[in-house]
Amino acid sequence: MSHQFQKTNLKPWEIELVNKFPLIFLEKSPDVLCYTKDLPDDARVNLRFGFEHGAGWSKLISELAQTGTELVTHLRAQGIDASIHGFICKEKFGHLTWQGNSKLPPFFQKLWYSYVSGIESQSSHTCEVTGEYGTTYRLKNGKPSWNRTLCKEEAQKQGYDPIP
Ligand SMILES: [Zn+2]
């Protein structure tokens, strides 16, 4: 297969994050195993291309993965077959997008979706580069898909304009 789902693709801050939350990022997932038959267990990660966004959002991911881990651990302790696995975690139109597979009882599923959506919303106020307070900026004459959420300093450095 190609280079998908391989731990060697990850930067040091990404490795740190997936190792901190193995239930979410490293636990064997049937959806990923079918693409990674030839990879040894310690070389595989559930993320297709790692974290496809800047390190500034690592605190948002950390919060999301911490809550997901607690939820799954709590449910499993009660004998419930639960899991949350992250597959795609990327920047899109300047905002964080999380795609994963969650196996949870319906009520918890609902709570989890709502929680994830809250974390995604927080990315529109979090600089993708530094993690400081930010807003969504655009490039002059740039497509909306080039928008990025940055702090003022980073936006100026990279030549972005505020969205009027
Ligand atoms: Zn910044």
Per-chain residues with Cβ under 5 A from ion ligand 1 = 127, 129-130, 132, 151, 154
> Is there a contact between 114 and 60 (Cβ–Cβ < 8 Å)?
no
Q: What band does 148 get if pLDDT is binned at 50, 70 and 90?
A: very high
**How many angstroms is it from 10 CA to the middle of ligand 1?**
22
Res. 83: pLDDT tops 70: yes
Chain mean pLDDT for the chain: 94
pLDDT of residue 40: 87
- 160 vs 154: CA distance, rounded Å: 8
Q: What band does 80 get if pLDDT is binned at 50, 70 and 90?
A: very high
**How many angstroms is it from 130 CA to the middle of ligand 1?**
4
- 144 vs 148: CA distance, rounded Å: 9
